[in-house]
Amino acid sequence: MIRLCFLGILLCSLMTIPAQASSPEELIERAQYHMGTYARVLIYGGTNADADAAFLKIKELDGLLSDYDPESEVSEINRMAGKRPVKASPDVLDVLKEALYVSGETGGAFDPTIGALTIGVYRFGRDGGRVPGDEEVREAKSLVDYRYLRIDGDEVYLEREGMMLDLGGIGKGYAVEEAVRVLKRRGIKKGIVSLSGDIKVFGSDIEIGIRDPAGEGAIASFHTGTRDLAISTSGGYERVIDPQGKAYHHLLVPSTGKPGRDFLSVTVILEGDSALADAYATSLFVMGRDRSIEFLKKHPEIGVFAVFPGGEIYYNERLKSLVTGFKVL
C-alpha cells in the first residue's frame, strides 16, 4: 500500500510512503512538466525507460491537443473553422469522439467548442486575461455548440467561423489514460499517473485526500484498493481572473457564458476511463446542483464527492462502493 498525499487531485509534493519498505519491486517516481502542469509517474517493477515512455506519450498529446501551441492540430482546426476540414491524427479523433459522446450525454453541459468563450474572450491563462462585457459573452456563446463539430473519417471541421475547440475539460484525463496504456503494454502492473486534477491508479493501494476548496488541507480521504480507478477533480480555484475581488474561473456554463457558481469543487471516481472521469467532473460542476444530482441518478456508475459554497458536502453510495476507508475529515 502507498500513501499518497494530494489535495483536490493536485499533488502536493507527491509524498509517497511505501507501507512495506522491504518490497522486492523497485519503486520509480518521476515528474516532468507537461500540459502546463506537472505530470507525475510512479511505477513498481519497471525501469526509467518505462517512465520515459509514459512521459513521451503525454508530451506527444500535448503537441496535438494544446490550444496554447499554435502548431498543434487543435489550433489548426480552430484556424480553419468555417473554412475547411483538417486531417487529424487518431488520438485527436479519439478524444474528440469521446468529447462528443459526453456532450450528448450531458445535453451540452460539456462542450468541447467552449473555446469561443475561454480562449476567445476570457483568455484564461493567457496574456490579457480579463472579464468580457455582456455583449462579447453573448456573441461568443453563440459560437459554442458541439453539434457544429463534424468528424468525417479522419477529418475534423468546425462549421462556423469563430468557433474554437478547448479540450481542457478532457485532454489531461485522456493523456493520463493513454500514458497508463503505454505502461501496461510495457508490462507494468502497478502504478500511478497524474496530471493536475486527473489521476489514474492501477494495481496500487493509495490513500487520497480531497482538497478542501475553501481552506487548507484535506476535506475527505479514502483508499483506492487495488482496482483501476480514474479520479478527477474540477474546482473553481484554478485559472481565475479576479477583478475587484470577484473571481471568474474557467469552468463556464455554455448556455450562459458565465462561471458555474453552485459548487466549489466536484470529484469524480470511475472504475474505468480517465478521460470520461475528467469530462464528467467538468460537466457536473457546470450543470449546477439540481441538474447534476438528476444526472447521477441516470449514471449510477459515477462516484462523486462535491463541495458547495458554505461548506456543505455531497457524496453518493457509488463512491463508497468504489473505495475503502472513506471518511470526511
Note the pLDDT tens digit of each residue in 310-327: 889 999 999 999 999 999
pLDDT at 12 over 90: no
Q: Report the half-sphere exposure of 78 (CA within 13 A, side-chain side).
A: 26
Query: What is the Cα–Cα distance from 193 to 176, expressed in whole angstroms?
Result: 6
pLDDT tens, residue by residue, 205-252: 989 999 888 777 899 999 999 889 999 998 765 544 444 444 555 688
Task: Say whether 67 sits in a helix, a strand or coil.
Answer: coil
Which backbone phi and psi does 272 adopt, to 5 degrees?
160, -130
Tell the burial category of 223 from Cβ atoms under 10 Å away from its Cβ (0-12, 13-18, 19+): middle
**Cα(165)–Cα(92) distance, rounded to whole angstroms?**
11
End-to-end CA distance of the chain: 21
Domains, in order of start, for the chain: 2-64+173-328 (3.10.520.10), 68-158 (1.10.3980.10)
Task: Assess whether pLDDT exceeds 90 at residue 284.
Answer: yes
Report d(CA 274, CA 199) in Å as an integer. 7
Question: CA separation (Å) from 195 to 3, 163, 184, 217, 284?
Answer: 18, 27, 18, 19, 20
Q: For residue 12, give the C-alpha cell.
A: 502536493
